[in-house]
Structure 1
């Protein structure tokens, strides 16, 4: 496989009709100048066939991962016929571009779509520049359309509007002298995100792709619970509506406009029964091959919608879920970080204007790193890396081994909690413990050298990839009874189906019994601080990041603390902790991740 030259991509694909028309005009002029032979037959016009296959290439949750993701974040699991599995290194926009371009080829009936979280929680290469590099890369990828995700709101609605429309950052300005950021040349869709002042969608609710009489509408929504997973400032002035009701509303509107083929881009997802990217959740005996919020959403979206491209859960699946009429409908997700892309065939019926559902086929494909890198993406990465290098290459600590970010209790999450406890104690020596949200731990720290970096060296860029949100470390007072309630809210209410297990700082321990349900999973008499049982009536000083301090992740009691004190940046806290507790000769070891005893 080889990369397609930049000049032959977006311009050629989208302007192909214009080019062909110009060519035909030239041929027509030449023909007019040459006398026609007597009795020469005119060429018969070819009538388009009734059924037209349309290729839909899709991905989701890129999160600004332009360079190949590190560790487990850059691998996928492949399932073999004999039941064994292997892991494959995957991802990196240089490879994603090559795979998409090769899959697309010269097919004029090809659409590329995404299901949100293209930016946000990004590595330093993109995040340092407010994700302008990722928007530039997506433009080069020929992305046609995407829904918004919750992370598109990390910096608020105004910043999202800037990413769409262009213009230099209001605080940072233009990163290259004389060069103004152009913005996305694809539409962001936000059908269920309503501006409270105008009562209208923040961005376009839908977009229609047209080619030679074929019309396919795309409706884009994000999860209704976005305010529960984004800082309050990021969603200020916005209301997030029900996904199903919104999609059904605009599917009717599209039908009134004569658009009967519809794809929903939904930033909400599910969990397949297997973590292998190629697991067949429709195979005999698979049963309910997928679970989670997307199942109920899919079952209730109008049959007018022909396929669902989803995201948010970072899972990989290509399953059918029955619509309200009982008819199977394709639902897909391509994991995250650009490790996979989905290739779906939509067979369009020119007579009815609808998709023939029986002909819909879909599969996920690995973005392997054994293909040629796309040269334009390499140039893009090098340009932005040159700007980022003075900041990103600065060492901030040393580790003795990989520090993983996965698992119910991740070593990386524990390390961050320890760093925030130390930061809290500097603010107030009476600080007792720290709690870290799992969703804020975006990547592992890897021991192996990267580029010119030595083994075990942690750079600022790597730290930024782990903690990219620019949260602050906040202190609050809680009673022991409130701390018990906080632990229960991790595994009950809105978190019952998908627990948000907080990572505790050293000295705070308890037992989590996953054989039980809801709040009963917390074994109350096991909760201890530095070996002593928690006193329900006592007051404890707790450090959290600003997201949790606002009651984030559905843990509302965290928003009820008293005696608030706002500290410094959370990444600065991690950097200070690593510098104080590690050196080249005495690197820090991964935490044992034994603070939560799990019964399963």
Structure 2
């Protein structure tokens, strides 16, 4: 389940380096009066406060947002945390009586232990306290299946998966905001959740109605385990959004905002390049096909931050935004509507850093508070919820797992390997190599299943179970499969084929297995020199490999594994990592594994 486009933290920070203080303004259309004219009293400005990809990060995620300081030099600002996010939302709401709070998906799923241990109920309760109005479902909302997602909307304690609900409070009220899913269809053709919602602003005499349409990426079934999307069909995003426009217009809406869990990447300065000439990704063809009636697109999924006045091929413009990830940013969008004729006469947006708490990063560098950036307090109601949740989670979260000699990160080597992935693969192999567990010989970890680094102080330190869970939050379990050497090579070739062709997805191997690859060679001939403990892999010989159940179901484009009968099944993946660390003596801290198992030739 479990793999979004997930660049390393360093690449994320670089991508948002100059974007965050930018304010984007889309001018008044020709023929319309500006806000400085006497017609000002006939205009209403609605503030839309948007975020995306929170992923249940209730505590500050220890991520830094890079921006420009008052002296013009680059600086890093600590950001995120639900209590600070709530106060930032409250602060922005104070600017106007007319506001809406929206999310572009992955509000829950792939969550740290504090939320995941309680089936993400705490995140829904926190979002209720934010005053969230609408959440367009993302792919990770389906991690536990449609029935469990429906429970998060409706409330109640009906058990749909192995872990029981309502263990935090004994009851669960559900979301006081609406889930939207215009392109997620059930067997009878109806949508799983409403496709759209409307919020009304202003006095009765001159009300403004804004419609919100929600959609998720049509490729969700390819990145979620089959059980999570059983009985559902995911339709084309643009078609589903456009289909809602006539009905919204019939209900008298003056502006339409699309909330879509799909996105792109940018590298340019958004305050200088308002046409987003460098915008790439799956969001581009979707935007090109959206009806010009869409005024704003709030996007997500790629965990990148951007603000774009995007000009489409037909000459129309749409305001495109994303607030990055994990509640580190909020997008403040202002829509000004002329109530005399119901037209949008102004649009602007800026990304606001949700400054939170100082921390020390994986390299031992301090990330301190910035006086030049807005400061936010902890919202008392949200912090009380979090403290109650922390107390309930403490017996498991604070359990010591082991001691590391240094931080173990997802920072990729030239080959695509990273130390954390190699460590996890070693742990998975250790958990399944015994004969009664299938006698695994090799293990692989998918990089998208790694969501956080294991951070310890410079010189080494302890890691607890909560840290391990943050790194591997999906609740997958281990599966042992049997492949011939020829099939093993075909599996590794799939790292660079199909949906992985444009962005190779390198599987991270356990110790003892090595190979090389050459991307200059033709497809199907890129992998060579496969060896296990120094011996060549024999095409006709059978080998036993361990993967998580997401990969075993063909996830991340590794369709060769789909349908293979398991030789054995093992423990949850995070528990395997916990057992591996606990098996090492605290007197000899575990060092980061070397990234020398894969060699990239070209």
- TM-score bracket relative to the smaller structure: 0.7 to 0.9
**Match for residue 584 of structure 1?**
586
Partners of 1:287 and 1:220 in 2: CA distance: 23
Whether the aligned pair in 2 keeps the contact of 1:302 and 1:323 (CA below 8 Å) is no
Instruction: String of CA shifts for 1:17-66, please: whole Å, max 9, x gaps.
Output: xxxxxxxxxxxxxxxxxxxxxxxxxxxxx998333222111000101100
Instruction: String of CA shifts for 1:177-202, please: whole Å, max 9, x gaps.
Output: 6x521111000101111111x21100
Partners of 1:432 and 1:66 in 2: CA distance: 38
Identify the match of residue 477 of structure 1 among 475, 482, 485.
482
> Which secondary structure state, in structure 1, belongs to the residue aligned with residue 526 of structure 2?
strand
Whether the aligned pair in 2 keeps the contact of 1:346 and 1:360 (CA below 8 Å) is yes
Deviation of 1:498 after TM superposition, in Å, equals 2.9
Partners of 1:595 and 1:320 in 2: CA distance: 45
Instruction: String of CA shifts for 1:299-329, please: whole Å, max 9, x gaps.
Output: 1111111111111111111123223532221
Partners of 1:103 and 1:255 in 2: CA distance: 28
Whether the aligned pair in 1 keeps the contact of 2:84 and 2:376 (CA below 8 Å) is yes
Whether the aligned pair in 1 keeps the contact of 2:400 and 2:464 (CA below 8 Å) is yes
Deviation of 1:406 after TM superposition, in Å, equals 3.9
> Which secondary structure state, in structure 2, belongs to the residue aligned with residue 272 of structure 1?
coil
**Match for residue 244 of structure 1?**
238
Segments of structure 2 that go 5 or more residues without pairing to the other structure are 1-37, 357-374
Partners of 1:104 and 1:532 in 2: CA distance: 64
RMSD, aligned CA:
2.5
**Match for residue 597 of structure 1?**
599
Q: Identify, as 1 or 2, the structure richer in helix.
A: 1
Whether the aligned pair in 2 keeps the contact of 1:496 and 1:518 (CA below 8 Å) is no
**Match for residue 26 of structure 2?**
none
Task: State how 1:225-240 maps to structure 2 within 5 Å.
Answer: 225-240=219-234
Deviation of 1:134 after TM superposition, in Å, equals 0.5
- The reply to whether residue 204 of structure 1 matches residue 191 of structure 2 is no
Deviation of 1:80 after TM superposition, in Å, equals 6.8
Task: State how 1:24-423 maps to structure 2 within 5 Å.
Answer: 49-70=41-62, 74-78=63-67, 85-105=74-94, 107-170=96-159, 172-176=164-168, 179-196=170-187, 198-212=188-202, 213-273=207-267, 279-280=269-270, 283=273, 288-323=277-312, 325-356=314-345, 359-369=346-356, 370-407=375-412, 408-423=416-431
Q: CA 1:259–1:439 in structure 2 vs 1: closer, same or farther (change >3 Å)?
A: same
Deviation of 1:121 after TM superposition, in Å, equals 1.0
Whether the aligned pair in 2 keeps the contact of 1:150 and 1:226 (CA below 8 Å) is yes
Whether the aligned pair in 2 keeps the contact of 1:272 and 1:281 (CA below 8 Å) is no
Whether the aligned pair in 1 keeps the contact of 2:118 and 2:166 (CA below 8 Å) is no
Deviation of 1:448 after TM superposition, in Å, equals 3.3
> Which secondary structure state, in structure 2, belongs to the residue aligned with residue 290 of structure 1?
coil
Deviation of 1:176 after TM superposition, in Å, equals 4.8
Deviation of 1:500 after TM superposition, in Å, equals 2.3
**Match for residue 500 of structure 2?**
495
Whether the aligned pair in 2 keeps the contact of 1:164 and 1:183 (CA below 8 Å) is yes
The alignment's TM-score, normalised by the length of structure 1, stands at: 0.84
Q: CA 1:557–1:361 in structure 2 vs 1: closer, same or farther (change >3 Å)?
A: same
Deviation of 1:271 after TM superposition, in Å, equals 1.4
> Which secondary structure state, in structure 1, belongs to the residue aligned with residue 41 of structure 2?
coil
Higher relative contact order (CA 8 A, sep 6+): 2
**Match for residue 558 of structure 1?**
561
Partners of 1:117 and 1:535 in 2: CA distance: 43
> Which secondary structure state, in structure 2, belongs to the residue aligned with residue 299 of structure 1?
helix
Q: CA 1:282–1:191 in structure 2 vs 1: closer, same or farther (change >3 Å)?
A: farther
Deviation of 1:513 after TM superposition, in Å, equals 4.3
Q: CA 1:347–1:489 in structure 2 vs 1: closer, same or farther (change >3 Å)?
A: farther
> Which secondary structure state, in structure 1, belongs to the residue aligned with residue 144 of structure 2?
coil
Count, aligned residues: 536
> Which secondary structure state, in structure 1, belongs to the residue aligned with residue 106 of structure 2?
coil
**Match for residue 450 of structure 2?**
441
Q: CA 1:349–1:493 in structure 2 vs 1: closer, same or farther (change >3 Å)?
A: farther
The alignment's TM-score, normalised by the length of structure 2, stands at: 0.84
Q: CA 1:192–1:429 in structure 2 vs 1: closer, same or farther (change >3 Å)?
A: closer
